[in-house]
C-alpha cells in the first residue's frame, strides 16, 4: 500500500504535475540551457543532485526554525543555505570527482537562481506538495523532490531535442529564437496535459 503511494508521488510529479509544464517553476534554465541535448542532460543531473540535498537540508532547517518560532526567516535562511550548498557541492566535486565536475561544473553556479530548487524546498518544508494521502515527512518529501527533478530533466531533454531539430528549420524571421521556442514549449505542455487525471485513475488501480 505505502509503496504504491510513493510510486504515485513519483508518477504524478514527473508526468501529471510536471514542474515545468504545469507548475511553471524552473523556466529560466528550461529556456536558457536547452539548445543542445548534452548540456540539457548535464543541467538535469546537476539540478537533481542539488535539489535532493537541498530538500533534505532545508527540511531539517525548517524544523529548527519552527522550534524557535522564527518561521518568518524561512525565505532568507533557505536561499542562503541553497547558495552555500551549491558552493560546497562545487568544491567537493572538484576534489572528489574531477570528471563529474567537468561535466556539471558550468551549471552549478546557475542553479542558485533556479526557482525550482527554492520552490520545491518551500513546498516540502510547508508540507503543501501532493503527498497522495501520505503524511508529509522527510521520506515522502525526498521522493517528491527526486521525482520532480526527474520530471524537470525529462522536460528539459525532450525540449532540447526538439530545439536541435528546430535550429535546422526555416522559421519565419519574426518567430526565430525565443518566440518559436515558447510556442514549442506550449505544444509540449499541451501534450503533458494529456496525463491530467491519470493519477486519480492510478490511485484507484492501486487501491488507495
Least Å from the CB of residue 27 to other proteins: 4
Least Å from the CB of residue 164 to other proteins: 18
**CB nearer to other proteins: pick between 1 and 99:** 1
Least Å from the CB of residue 98 to other proteins: 25
Least Å from the CB of residue 32 to other proteins: 8
185/179 Cα distance (integer angstroms): 10
Neighbours of 37 (CB within 10 A): 17
**CB nearer to other proteins: pick between 139 and 190:** 190
Neighbours of 31 (CB within 10 A): 17
112/42 Cα distance (integer angstroms): 16
**CB nearer to other proteins: pick between 80 and 98:** 80
Closest by CA position to 55, among listed 91, 25, 30, 85: 85
**CB nearer to other proteins: pick between 79 and 103:** 79
Length of the chain: 208
92/141 Cα distance (integer angstroms): 25
Least Å from the CB of residue 206 to other proteins: 13
Cα–chain center distance at 19:
6
Closest by CA position to 47, among listed 20, 22, 29: 29
What does the binding site for other proteins look like in residue numbers (CB under 8 A)? Answer: 21-28, 31, 72-76, 79-80, 83, 112-115, 117-119, 122-123, 130, 133, 174-175, 178-183, 185-187, 189-190, 193, 196-197, 200, 203
**CB nearer to other proteins: pick between 99 and 201:** 201
Instruction: For the chain, give the longest Cα–Cα distance.
Output: 60
Amino acid at each position: 500500500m505505502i509503496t504504491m503511494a510513493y510510486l504515485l508521488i513519483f508518477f504524478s510529479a514527473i508526468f501529471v504535475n510536471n514542474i515545468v509544464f504545469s507548475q511553471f517553476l524552473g523556466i529560466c534554465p528550461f529556456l536558457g540551457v536547452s539548445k543542445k541535448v548534452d548540456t540539457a542532460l548535464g543541467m538535469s543531473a546537476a539540478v537533481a543532485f542539488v535539489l535532493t540535498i537541498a530538500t533534505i537540508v532545508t527540511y531539517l532547517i525548517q524544523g529548527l526554525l519552527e522550534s524557535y518560532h522564527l518561521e518568518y526567516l524561512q525565505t532568507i535562511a533557505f536561499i542562503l543555505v541553497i547558495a552555500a550548498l551549491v558552493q560546497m557541492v562545487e568544491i567537493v566535486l572538484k576534489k572528489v570527482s574531477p570528471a563529474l565536475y567537468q561535466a556539471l561544473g558550468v551549471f552549478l553556479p546557475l542553479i542558485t537562481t533556479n526557482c525550482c530548487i527554492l520552490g520545491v524546498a518551500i513546498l516540502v518544508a510547508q508540507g503543501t506538495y501532493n503527498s497522495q494521502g501520505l503524511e508529509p515527512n522527510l521520506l515522502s518529501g525526498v521522493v517528491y523532490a527526486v521525482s520532480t527533478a526527474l520530471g524537470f530533466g525529462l522536460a528539459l531533454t525532450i525540449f532540447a531535442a526538439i530545439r536541435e531539430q528546430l535550429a535546422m528549420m526555416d522559421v519565419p524571421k519574426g518567430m526565430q529564437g525565443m518566440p518559436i521556442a515558447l510556442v514549442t514549449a506550449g505544444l509540449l505542455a499541451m501534450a503533458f496535459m494529456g496525463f491530467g487525471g491519470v493519477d486519480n485513475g492510478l490511485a484507484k488501480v492501486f487501491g488507495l
